[in-house]
Amino acid sequence: MLFKKIGVIGGGTMGQGIAEMLAAKGIEVLLVEKSVEKLNYSYQMIETSLDKQLEKWGITQAEKKLILSRIQKVVHFAELGSCDMVIETISEDIEAKKLIFSQLDQVCPNNIILASNTSTLSLTELASTTMYPERVIGMHFIYPVGKVDLVEIIRGLKTSDITFLETKRFVEEIVNKKGIMIYESPGFVSSRLICLLINEALHILQEGVASAEDIDDAMRIGYQFQNGPLEMADRFGLDSVLAALERMFREFGELKYRPSTILKKMVRAGHLGVKTGEGFFKYDKDGDRV
C-alpha cells in the first residue's frame, strides 16, 4: 500500500492534529465532519495551529499554504472510497464509533485498513460491526500529535498480521513515529499509566498534601515531565480523563481506577481544562498558562 491519500474522520482536537501532521508529511488528507460548519471550524483551527508554528519560525508561508492545500474538506463518507487508509478520531462513544465502522466497511475496499484513534475502547468490539474485522486496528496518537513521536498500535482479537505490519510500516516509515505493539486491554499502555498518575495526583491535592503548583513541579522538575500531571489532565480535557478512568474502573473492577471525587466535581462545574479556559490552572485562548 502506498498511503498517498488518507481519510480522517472527526475534526476535533485529535482529528485536526492528525490531519495536519499527515498533510505536513506530504499526504493528501480527506477530513470528514458531520456538517460544513464543523468542517470549516476544524480547518480554521488547523490554520491557527499552522500560524502558531509560523510565528515560532517552524514553517514558512509557502509551507503553510502547501500543507493546507493537501487537506480536502468532505462531508460524505462515499468520497472515502478512494482512500488508502481511514483513521477515525471521533469522541469516545462506542455506539457512534460502531456506526462509523459499519459504514466505512461498506465504502472502503476490503484491503483498506480502518484504524481508530480510540484511547480506551475495545477494537474487537468495534470490529464486530464489520464484515472484514481483520482490517480493523487501533492507532492511538498522543496529543500534541505533531510533537509526540509515539503511536500505540492496538491489535483486536481478529486483527490480521498483515494489517498490523502495514500499520507499523505506515507509522514508522511514512509518519516517522515509533510504533509500539499492544494487545487489546482497557487503557492500553499509555492511558492506563498516565490516568493512574493523574488520579493519584488528584488524591494528593484533595488530601491537602501539596498545592497543585507544587505537585506539578515535583514531577516536572523532579522527574523531567514536560508538564506535571494536573496540567496534563487540563490539556487532555478533564472530561476525557474522567471517562477513561470510569471505563477502566468498570472493566478492571479495581479500586485504584476509581476517579477522584474532585475530578467529578470539576467536570460537573464545567471546568474541563484548557478547552474551557479553566481546570486546575487557568489558560488563555491560545492554550498558554495564565
Partner 1 sequence: MKVLVINSGSSSLKYQLYDMRDESVLAKGLVERIGMDSSILNHKPTGGQEVTEVKEILEHNTAIRKVLSMLTDPEHGVIKSIDEIQAVGHRVVHGGESFKASALVDDPAKTEIRRLFDLAPLHNPAAMMGITATENNMPGVPQVVVFDTAFHQAMPEKAYLYGIPKVLYNKYKVRRYGFHGTSHEYVSHIAAEFLGQAIEDLKIITCHIGNGGSLTAVQGGHSIDTSMGMTPLEGLMMGTRSGDLDPAIVPFVMNKEELTVNEVNSMLNKHSGLLAISGISSDMREITDGMANGDANCTLAFEMYEYRLRKYIGSYAAAMNGVDVIVFTAGVGENSVVVREKVCENLTYLGVEIDDALNAIRSGEPRLISTSQSKVKVLVIPTNEELVIARDTYRIVSELK
Q: How far is the CB of 69 from partner 1 (least distance, A)?
A: 6
Residue type, 242: L
Q: How far is the CB of 49 from partner 1 (least distance, A)?
A: 14
Nearer to partner 1, 147 or 265 (CB): 147
Q: Is 277 left (phi over 0), alpha (psi -120 to 50) or beta?
A: left
Nearer to partner 1, 98 or 220 (CB): 220
Nearer to partner 1, 93 or 173 (CB): 173
Nearer to partner 1, 21 or 244 (CB): 21
- What gap in Å lies between CA 184 and CA 127, rounded to an integer? 12
Q: How far is the CB of 106 from partner 1 (least distance, A)?
A: 33
Q: How far is the CB of 63 from partner 1 (least distance, A)?
A: 7
- What gap in Å lies between CA 266 and CA 270, rounded to an integer? 6
Instruction: Characterize the bridge pairing of strands 71-74 and 28-32.
Output: parallel
User: b/e for 221-238, b at 16 or more Cβ within 10 A?
Assistant: eeeebeebbbbbbbbbbb
Residues that bind partner 1 (CB under 8 A): 53, 56-60, 62-63, 65-66, 69, 147
- What gap in Å lies between CA 78 and CA 74, rounded to an integer? 9
- What gap in Å lies between CA 265 and CA 263, rounded to an integer? 5
Q: How far is the CB of 62 from partner 1 (least distance, A)?
A: 4
Closest C-alpha among 264, 273, 267 to residue 233: 273
Nearer to partner 1, 52 or 203 (CB): 52
- What gap in Å lies between CA 106 and CA 81, rounded to an integer? 9
Q: How far is the CB of 172 from partner 1 (least distance, A)?
A: 15
Nearer to partner 1, 1 or 148 (CB): 148
